[in-house]
Amino acid sequence: MGFQSLSFLLLLALTAVLCPLAAKKSRPAGIALFTFFSVIFYLWGLGIHAMLGLAVLALGSLVTFAAARTSLSGPEKPKKRVLLTAAAWHIAVLLGFKYLGFFTGGAVSLGWAPLGLSFFTFQQLWFLKEVGTRQFSLSEPARLRGDEFALFSLFFPTVSSGPILRPDGFFPQLRSENFLRPDWDDRAAGLYAFSLGMAKKVLLADSLGAVVNGGYAHLDGLTAHGAWLVILGYTLQLYFDFSGYCDIATGATRLLGLRLPINFDSPYRSLSVGEFWKRWHITLTTFLRECLYFPLGGSRRGEMRTYGNILLVFLVSGFWHGAGWTFLFWGLLHGLAQVAERAAGVRLTRLPKTLRWAGTFLFVNLAWVFFRAPSLAAAASLLRSAFSGGAGIPAFLTENLLPSETTALSALGLGPSAGNLLLAAVFFIALLAALKPGNTVRRMDTFRPTGLRCAVCCILLAWAALSFSGVTTFIYANF
Amino acid sequence: MKNAKKRWAVGLLAGFLSILFFCAGTVRAVDPFFHYRAPDPEGEVWFDERYQAAGLLRSQSYETVLMGTSLAANYRPFWFDVFYDTSTVKVTFPNGGFHEFTQALDYAYARQDVKRVIFGLDPNILARPASDAPDQLPAYLYDDNPWNDAEYLFSKDVLLRAVYAAGEKTQGQTLPLQDAFMWDGSLYFSRELALGSYERPEIADTPLPADAFLKDCDKNLMVVTSWLEAHPDTQFVFFLSPYSILYWDKMQRLGETEAVFSLLRRTAETLLPYDNADLQCFLTDTDTICDLENYADHIHVAGRVTYAMSQAMPGDEYRLTEENYRERLDALHAFVVNYDYEKIFA
């Protein structure tokens, strides 16, 4: 089930009403019902692959849980061999489902992967690591409960796309007073993040996606202006898509009295690539830092080793995002940029802030081209158009941008300029929202509950919900 | 503060639900896609075949389904009512894909006792790979599941169309059911226009192999024969619309003539063995195809010609049989290969 559906709104409403009622009678009943709704979320509408995917995730959870219990069974230090075996299992499952095709040149491929497997794998690895290092505060077998672990593994607000849950940030909340007993502060905060998240995802990211998809479908016809719109459009689309998703997840979670970690902290305001990674997909960066960079020695084993570790971490990050050369190249670019920044040291910080921001933003934009492009050749083609194409904005960029809104504006007298007007409006609003200080998750607890803010959130949420089901407009409709 | 947050949250939810139910109420009342009511045969606002055809299939009483792409759109259903002594509903999808036609046919069979299907078999869609064909019918309209009606009721796109339909109706901007989705009234058909919209391609260096379209054609014909086999008691009348001589000029210059004839022969060989299949080939009507006054472009033909074709459809004049199809297609082949195309442009 996707977040962008009426079914999800219904499921969330049922969860938010029924789970607290069940928890009033007994907390385990509340957890069981929450897990049940998480299973429904996972299976809804996705057929046999969803059932198989759920089986893979359930088996993986069992492996982790059993390894953790076994490892902690004695009074001595955790049995690391057991934990490493479980970690190897998770890595093997991830490689088998997602990377077999890449490693065999497409000769062998399962052709599908369980929904959310990449996030699930890292979350399970993080759990095993924290059990092994005793960082996990519930590292006693008696306190590690199966029902709580099942909810941790299948938790529906995060199961498909994160944020990656850190065990020590999640389990203690299940024993807090607020869990499944949200007050009106929680509900208001949840609805605030949920509304803005939906608007980011449905109204901004999907609209920008229409422009970006139009550009990638007509790479040969792109002008320089068009190419830059596609590049900037994807930068903004990806941010609003993922951060919107995280806001929705955070809002939904808060409606149940839980909190999720901040995953995006205005990343496009960063003054360096290093800072960008402290603000972008923060849970992934934290996981890679704690579970890969530090164990490799971090920055404590000399300069060259540090550079090597940084490059390795970003290659793994690139590969985690997708099994393809474009993702590896994107990871390599970010790794090299961070190595260069580290090598430059304080000299970079002496540059004017505006220059540092512009350089970082330009680099991030250009690197995203490799993240989005279907191939290195397509990325090169887009970049070529950006630097040597002609002027003007091709019509295919606005062809599928908010078609109903375009039709309505055209009917109101704006005529054929309605498409370009909406294009300008979407980019302007998206840039403003991406670059303004603060973010939704930070404002959840501090916003003033004014009537105007209520009306804006209400309209944005309704507009997004009424956009879930669209009517396709056909170009060929004249005949 | 607690009360303020409570008021804020309750206000947001109440406002959100009010907007949603206002939208659903408006869509339900206007029902622009005829999901809950039959269209008024005297006047409706017709604007989208894929979304409004489901309502026609559900609400009309019919024995015959007229189906096809835009080439089948300029036929009035009552012509077939008269010429076949039947009752007809027209369901056409511009640039339609075979999966869409199957979906619509399945829905028609679920709702009515369909005795005849008249299908515009467009060579262009036969040659098209399935992956390039649109597959855009909204599933929530082509079933009787009330639960997925939410996709219809809670959609700003449908709301916009409801407002548009209501506005047009208020201003009397409607068309009767018989004229639904006809576009020949809004276009002129003339030699000048046909030539004006025709871009004559450069001559290809090497012609396409004769079997270039057969792989995709076979896959598409498998869908068509699945209809024939699933409904042996239904008479299927497939008709090949008369593409103009400009189409053949294009095929000659692109080196695709042999590939198109292979496709036509394969179509006849595949369909004619079925007892419940008729194949009416208007492509061979050389008088019509050479008279560019009949066309808006290189394939789309005027209403006067579609009327004559619908009149001829029950008869044998254009019918291909296992005995005559080679001879007729060979004659057409000789005609288009030897035609002096330069005189069109002189």
Give the DSSP per-residue string, B120-161: E--HHHHSS-GGGS-----TTTSS--SGGGHHHHT-HHHHHH
Q: pLDDT band at B80, cuts 50/70/90?
A: very high
- B220 with B263: CB under 8 angstroms? no
Size of interface A-B (CB pairs under 8 A): 109
Q: In this structure, what token pair is assigned to residue B135?
A: 């597959």
Cα of A94 to nearest chain B Cα, Å:
30
State the pLDDT at residue A478.
Answer: 32
Shared domain for A296 and A444, answered yes or no, is yes
Q: Across the interface, do A465 and B11 touch by the CB < 8 Å criterion?
A: no
Q: Which residue of B has its CA nearest to A479?
A: B70
The answer to the question of residue A62 being in a domain is yes
Shared domain for A227 and A137, answered yes or no, is no
Q: What's the average model confidence in pLDDT over B183-208?
A: 87
Q: Which residue of A has its CA nearest to B159?
A: A466
Q: Can you list the positions of beta strands (E) in chain B? A: 64-68, 88-92, 116-120, 235-240, 277-281, 319-320
Phi, psi of B48 (to 5 degrees): -155, 110
Write the CA distances from A211 to A152, A208, A399, A464, A470, integer angstroms: 37, 5, 8, 18, 17
Query: Is B23's Cβ below 8 Å from some Cβ in A?
Result: yes
Shared domain for A11 and A25, answered yes or no, is yes
Query: Is B19's Cβ below 8 Å from some Cβ in A?
Result: yes
What whole-number distance in Å separates Cα of residue B309 and Cα of residue B149?
A: 39
Q: Which residues of chain A have pLDDT under 50?
A: 473-479
Q: Which residue of A has its CA nearest to B151?
A: A469
Cα of B39 to nearest chain A Cα, Å:
20
State the pLDDT at residue A474.
Answer: 41
- Using the 3D structure, point to which of A166, A181, A196 is the last residue of a domain: A181
User: Which one from A49, A225, A321, A334 is the annotated catalytic residue?
Assistant: A321
Query: Is B132's Cβ below 8 Å from some Cβ in A?
Result: no
| Dihedral-angle region of residue A14 (phi above 0 means left; psi in -120 to 50 means alpha; beta otherwise) | alpha
| pLDDT above 70 coverage of chain A, percent | 96
Shared domain for A94 and A215, answered yes or no, is no
| Cβ neighbours of B11 in A, within 8 Å | 451, 454, 458
The answer to the question of residue A111 being in a domain is yes
| Cβ neighbours of A479 in B, within 8 Å | 70, 73, 94-95, 183, 300
Shared domain for A164 and A113, answered yes or no, is yes
- Using the 3D structure, point to which of A147, A181, A215 is the last residue of a domain: A181
Q: Is A225 a catalytic residue?
A: no
State the pLDDT at residue A109.
Answer: 82
Q: Is the pLDDT of residue B312 over 90?
A: yes
Count of domains observed in chain A: 2
Task: Suggest the residue from B6, B7, B8, B137 to mutate for an interface test with chain A (most A CBs closer than 10 A).
Answer: B8
Strands B235-240 and B88-92 turn out to be unpaired
The answer to the question of residue A318 being in a domain is yes
State the pLDDT at residue A78.
Answer: 66
Containing A243, the helix (H) or strand (E) segment is helix A224-254
Q: Across the interface, do B16 and A462 touch by the CB < 8 Å criterion?
A: yes
Q: Across the interface, do B6 and A469 touch by the CB < 8 Å criterion?
A: no
Shared domain for A221 and A73, answered yes or no, is no
Query: Is B150's Cβ below 8 Å from some Cβ in A?
Result: yes
Query: Is B159's Cβ below 8 Å from some Cβ in A?
Result: yes
What predicted TM-score, i.e. pTM, was given to this entire model? 0.85
State the pLDDT at residue A131.
Answer: 87
The answer to the question of residue A357 being in a domain is yes
State the pLDDT at residue A477.
Answer: 31
Compare B72 and A477 and report the one with higher pLDDT.
B72
Cα of B322 to nearest chain A Cα, Å:
33
The answer to the question of residue A72 being in a domain is yes
State the pLDDT at residue B331.
Answer: 96
- Using the 3D structure, point to which of A134, A156, A181 is the last residue of a domain: A181
Shared domain for A227 and A343, answered yes or no, is yes
Q: Across the interface, do B48 and A471 touch by the CB < 8 Å criterion?
A: yes
Q: pLDDT band at B2, cuts 50/70/90?
A: low
Shared domain for A168 and A94, answered yes or no, is yes
- A147 with A35: CB under 8 angstroms? yes
The answer to the question of residue A207 being in a domain is yes
Q: What pairs with residue A401 in β-bridges?
A: none
State the pLDDT at residue A142.
Answer: 62
Q: Across the interface, do A467 and B95 touch by the CB < 8 Å criterion?
A: no
Q: Across the interface, do A479 and B12 touch by the CB < 8 Å criterion?
A: no
State the pLDDT at residue A285.
Answer: 93
Q: Is the pLDDT of residue B68 over 70?
A: yes
Shared domain for A376 and A262, answered yes or no, is yes
Shared domain for A112 and A234, answered yes or no, is no
Mean pLDDT score of chain B, rounded to an integer? 93
Q: In this structure, what token pair is assigned to residue A358?
A: 């512009």
From B243, B141, B138, select the one nearest B194 (Cα to Cα): B243
Q: A356-365: long-range contacts at Cβ-Cβ below 8 A with a sequence spacing of 24 or more? A: A356/A271, A356/A272, A357/A269, A357/A270, A357/A271, A360/A270, A360/A271, A360/A272, A360/A273, A360/A275, A360/A276, A361/A268, A361/A270, A363/A273, A363/A333, A363/A337, A364/A235, A364/A268, A364/A270, A364/A273, A364/A276, A365/A231, A365/A232, A365/A235
Task: Suggest the residue from A17, A44, A458 to mutate for an interface test with chain B (most B CBs closer than 10 A).
Answer: A458
Q: What's the average model confidence in pLDDT over B176-193?
A: 82
State the pLDDT at residue A479.
Answer: 37
Shared domain for A281 and A298, answered yes or no, is yes
Q: Which residue of A has its CA nearest to B73?
A: A479
Closest CB to A465: pick one of B95, B152, B154.
B154
The domain containing residue A177 runs over which residues?
6-181
Shared domain for A136 and A233, answered yes or no, is no
Number of H helices, E strands in chain A: 21, 0
The answer to the question of residue A278 being in a domain is yes
CA atoms within 13 A on the CB side of A469: 23
The answer to the question of residue A1 being in a domain is no
Question: Which residues of chain A have a Cβ shorter than 8 Å from any chain B Cβ?
Answer: 6, 183-185, 187-188, 191, 195, 403-404, 407-408, 411, 449-451, 453-455, 457-459, 461-463, 465-472, 474, 476-479
